[in-house]
Amino acid sequence: MEKIEHTTVTTNGIKMHVASIGSGPIILFLHGFPELWYTWRHQLLSLSSLGYRCVAPDLRGYGDSDAPPSPESYTVFHIVGDLVGLLDALGVDKVFLVGHDWGAMIAWNFCLFRPDRIKALVNLSIPYHPRNPKVKTVDGYRALFGDDFYICRFQ
């Protein structure tokens, strides 16, 4: 893991910690909750050895990335905006996108908002579920899974 480089990128008004390794086509990895870039350490090492540049940020509010104090600063628009800014800072037009758990939800929205920046998507553990504008997301989870569902519990 000593070969993984750690940098800080200024994007969308925050400083984002980014772990990366390798060269070639870029794979962008999005971690779940409550995780960090470290979730992807094995994939970064393995896929970089196959000729890919692997990039795994700590998303907004996680790890060594900035955590704005206002809850209003954590919309999907902010987080996708952070990622678009990251791609711009790296000088990358399109990426292979990989998401897990909460990162998969971000990945679905990234593809919806900016399909021009994505070559392909691989998501783990979360199927696509379109937003229902008549039901608040947390209320929907609470109705389906109860108060003990981790997303409801942490509200």
What are the pLDDT digits (tens) for 20-33?
999 999 999 999 99
Instruction: Classify residue 153: in a domain, yes or no.
Output: no
Residue 105's φ and ψ, nearest 5 degrees, are: -65, -40
Beta strands (DSSP E) in the chain are 5-11, 14-21, 26-30, 53-57, 95-100, 118-124
Q: Domain total for the chain?
A: 1
Could you say which DSSP state residue 79 is in?
H
15 confidence band (pLDDT: 50, 70, 90): very high
Q: What CATH number is associated with residue 22? A: 3.40.50.1820
Instruction: Classify residue 152: in a domain, yes or no.
Output: no
Structural domain that includes position 114? 5-124
d(CA 101, CA 30): 9
pLDDT at 127: 86
